[in-house]
């Protein structure tokens, strides 16, 4: 969680802010959404977007980084999601 806390991930048409208290906010196009994130017992980053499917869809990924400036999320096995990589900016860079 320390890797992402108080940072904003930016990519294409979206941005994601990871609050140090485990809450997250995202913007995709004109839609702003909220969620929560945590580390599971396998050491994977997990999140739940509260605005989608009433918070019932949890996703977990392994996270790797390059000097804390870029992160790569690899989905847990069995998920159809593709890996995603995006740069990190300090703080709430997009005022989410």
Model confidence over 34-62: pLDDT tens digits?
Answer: 999 999 999 999 999 888 767 677 889 99
Confidence category of residue 20, pLDDT binned at 50, 70, 90: very high
> For residue 47, is it within any domain?
yes
> For residue 94, is it within any domain?
no
Q: Which CATH number do you get for residue 49?
A: 2.40.128.270
Q: Rounded to the nearest 5°, which phi and psi values hold at 55?
A: 75, 20
Q: What is the pTM of this model?
A: 0.85
**Nearest-CA neighbor of 38 among 17, 16, 60?**
60
> For residue 95, is it within any domain?
no
Structural domains in the chain (count): 1
Q: Where are the beta strands (DSSP E) in 19-83?
A: 23-28, 31-39, 45-49, 58-66, 70-75
Which residue range forms the structural domain that includes residue 82?
7-87
């Amino acid at each position: 969680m320390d890797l992402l806390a108080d940072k904003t991930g930016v990519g294409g048409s979206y941005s994601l802010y990871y609050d140090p208290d485990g809450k997250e906010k995202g913007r995709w196009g004109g839609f702003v959404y909220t969620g929560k994130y945590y580390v599971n017992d396998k050491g994977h980053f997990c999140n739940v977007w509260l605005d989608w499917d009433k918070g019932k869809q949890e996703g977990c990924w392994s996270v790797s980084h390059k000097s804390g400036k870029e992160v790569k999320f690899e989905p847990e096995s069995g998920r159809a999601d593709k890996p995603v990589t995006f740069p990190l900016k300090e703080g709430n860079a997009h005022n989410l």
